[in-house]
Amino acid sequence: MSFKSISELLNGLTQKEFSSVELTRDYLKRIQQYNAELNCFITIAEDQAVEAAETADKRRETGAAGLLEGIPVAHKDLFCTEGTLTSCASNMLSNFIPPYESTVTRRFLEAGAVCLGKTNMDEFAMGSSNENSHFGPVRNPWDSTRVPGGSSGGSAAAVAAGLCAAATGTDTGGSIRQPAAFCGITGLKPTYGRISRLGMIAFASSLDQAGPMARSAEDCALLLQVMAGHDPMDSTSAQQAVDQYSHNLGSELKGLTIGLPKEYYNEGLDPTIGQALQEAIKTYESLGATIKEVSLPHTSLSVPAYYVIAPAEASANLARFDGVRYGKRCDSPADLDDLYMRTRAEGFGAEVQRRILIGTYVLSAGYFDAYYRQAQKIRRLIKNDFVEAFGQVDLLLCPTTPDCAFPLGSKSADPVQMYLEDIFTIPTSLAGLPALALPCGQANGLPIGLQLIGNYFQEARLLNAGHQYQQRTDWHLQHPTLG
C-alpha cells in the first residue's frame, strides 16, 4: 500500500479493502523502520494519527467522508499545528508548541486527512539541500549518501520512500520543486496568494507559498483542492475562485503551445538532463502540443536579485525571535543586550545567521538604494519577461535543476554554488507564478525532474499538462528500493 496513489488509496478505503487504521499503522511501521536512516521526520505523531484514523473510519461508515478522509499525510515542520511541536528545524523553536492551527493544516483536518507527523527541513526554510537542519540532514532515499534537496527535503524524501501518501511543502525560491526533482516525485508551487500563509512561519513574506508534494499530478490536484482558497485572516490570500482541479485532468493538449525558454537550455545544464527534457518535449509533441522557443532575457539576474530580497525579508521576519516572547532563551543573561545576542547566536544556525546579516546589510542606511531597491527593479523586469512570454505561449517547459542530487557535504563550504542550485526555480518565485515539477527520467539511478511553468492562477492547466504526460510515461511510478 505504501506506494499507491491517493486515488487508489481512497478507492481501497471506499471498497473496504483496508481501513484507515490499517493504512495508518502501515505507514507508521515504515516510518519506524526507515526514518532512523533517512531522518525525514522531526516529530512522529503516532498516537494522534491512530486516533484520527479511527475517527476517519467512523465518519466513512456514516457517509460523512471528507475529500481526503483517512489518507495519511505529513506536514513540513513550519506549519503551526495546535499542541504539536513546530520547530522550523531550528534550535530557536525546539520547544515551541503552537496554540493554534495553520489554515493549511486545518483544511487538511477538515478534509479528513490523518497527520502522521512533521517533516524535517532546512532551518527556517533556508537551504537547497536539507543539510541546514538543527536535527541533522535528511538523506535521499534513492541514494542515502546524497541530498534530497531543500528546504522541503523531509517531505519529498518521505513521499518518495513511501512513508506517507503525500506531504505539504513550501516554496520560496524552489523549495518544493527542487526536492521533488531530486527525489522523483511531483511537486506544485502555486501562484503566490493561491494558498493561505496564516500559521506558516515566515522566511520571505513576498515569496513564501505552500504547496502539495505527492506521487503524481493527479494527487497534487486532489491536495490543491483542499489547500487552495481565500483566507480572510491572510492579507496576501487571493480572492480568486478555486477551480475543480481534479475534474480538469482529462483535457487534450491539442492546440496547447509550450514555450522553451532558451536561457534555461545552456552549457550549465547537465547533458543527461538535457536529453531527458528532449524526450519529454517529444512526448508533448505526440500529445498534440506545439513547441516554440521563447526568451526570458533577465534570467541571469534572478539569483543575485533573490539573494538580496529574500534575506532582507528574512532579517525583518526573524527579528521576532529574541528570547523574550517565545522559543529559546539563553541561560542567565547579564543584561538585555546579552539576552538578545546569546539567544540569537545559540538559537540560529550558520546559514540563517548568514542570511540575517546579508538582509540587515542591504536594508541599512546607505545601501538600501544600491541593493534592495535595485533588486526589486530587477524583479519587475523578470516578471515582465514572463508576461511577454505568456503572450506567445500557454506554458513553459524547462529543467527544474541543473543537475541531479549531489553528495551530502559536497557544496556546504561554498554558499554561492549551493545558491546556484535554484537557478531554474527562482525566476518563477520572483514573478509569483505557478510551476509544477515532475519526474521525466533517471541518470545513474537518480531522478531527473522537468518543470512546467504556467500563467497566474492557471494551476488547472499545469496539472492537466502534467497528468497527460504521466499518462504516457511511468517515471512517476518508479520508487527507490530501501534496504
User: Where would I find the H helices in 364-420?
Assistant: 374-389, 415-419
Judge whether residue 483 has pLDDT over 80.
no
Residue 66 has pLDDT above 80, yes or no: yes
Q: What pLDDT band is residue 297 in, cutting at 50, 70 and 90?
A: very high
The mean per-residue pLDDT over the stretch 29-47 comes to 98
Least confident span in 178-192, 207-221, 403-417: 403-417
Kind of pairing, strands 209-214 and 186-189?
Answer: antiparallel
Distance (Å, whole) CA 426 – CA 309: 12
pLDDT tens string 230-272: 999 999 999 999 999 999 898 999 999 999 999 999 878 999 9
* Burial (CB count <10 Å: 0-12, 13-18, 19+), residue 97: middle
92-116: pLDDT as tens digits = 999 999 999 999 999 999 999 999 9
DSSP-assigned letter for residue 171: E
Question: Is residue 303 pLDDT above 80, yes or no?
Answer: yes
Q: For position 218, what pLDDT does the model report?
A: 98
Burial group, residue 108, by CB count within 10 angstroms (0-12, 13-18, 19+): buried
- For residue 105, CA distances in Å to 110, 113, 145 come to 9, 9, 32
The bridge status of strand 41-44 relative to strand 114-119 is antiparallel
Distance between CA atoms of 304 and 430, rounded to whole angstroms? 11
Helix intervals (H) in 121-206: 153-160, 177-183
- What is the predicted pLDDT for the residue at 327? 87
pLDDT at position 47 is: 97
Distances (CA, A) of 439 to 145, 169, 185: 20, 17, 6
Q: What is the CA radius of gyration of the chain?
A: 21
Does the pTM exceed 0.75? yes
Q: Catalogue the active-site residues.
A: 76, 151, 175
Q: Cell numbers for 225, please give them.
A: 483542492
> How many Cα atoms occupy the beta-carbon half-sphere of 481 within 13 Å?
1
- State phi, psi for 78 to the nearest 5 degrees: -120, 0
Q: In the numeric block, which cell numbers belong to residue 246? A: 481534479
CA angle 78–80–84, rounded 5-degree value:
105
Judged against a pLDDT cut of 90, whether residue 326 lies above it is answered with no
Q: Which long-range contacts (CB under 8 A, 24 or more apart) does 264-269 make?
A: 264/296, 264/299, 264/398, 264/399, 264/424, 265/398, 265/399, 268/402, 268/423, 269/399, 269/402
pLDDT-based confidence at residue 8 (cuts at 50, 70, 90):
very high
Closest CA to 248 of 461, 476, 6, 11: 461
Which residues does residue 114 pair with via DSSP β-bridges, in sequence order? 72
Percent residues over pLDDT 90 in the chain = 95
What is the spatial distance between Cα 190 and Cα 168, in angstroms, rounded to a whole number?
12
Picking from 38, 43, 73, the residue whose alpha carbon sits closest to that of residue 183 is: 38
Q: Residues of the chain with pLDDT > 70: what percent?
A: 100
Cell representation of residue 236: 496576501
Band of pLDDT at residue 446, cut at 50, 70 and 90: very high
Question: CA separation (Å) from 455 to 17, 232, 373, 385, 395?
Answer: 41, 24, 26, 12, 7
Helix locations, 17-98, DSSP H: 20-38, 46-61
**Selecting from 3.90.550.10, 3.90.1300.10, 1.20.1630.10, 3.20.20.140, what CATH number does the domain 1-483 have?**
3.90.1300.10
Whether the upstream peptide bond of residue 151 has omega within 30° of 0, thus cis, is yes
Grid cell in block for residue 403: 543537475
Report which of 398, 473, 477 is spatially closest to residue 185, judged by C-alpha positions: 477
| Mean of pLDDT values over 282-308 | 97
The reported pLDDT for the residue numbered 1 is 79
pLDDT given for residue 325 in this prediction: 84
- b/e sequence 201-227, b meaning 16+ C-beta within 10 Å: bbbbebbbbbbbbbbbbbbbbbbbbbb
3-state helix, strand, coil in the chain (%, to 5): 45, 15, 40
**Residue ranges of the alpha helices (H) in 348-389?**
350-363, 374-389
- Residue 437 has a pLDDT of 98
CA distance 333 to 336: 7
Which pLDDT tens digit goes with each residue over 126-170?
Answer: 999 999 999 999 999 999 999 999 999 999 999 999 999 999 999
Split at pLDDT 50, 70, 90, the class of 184 is very high
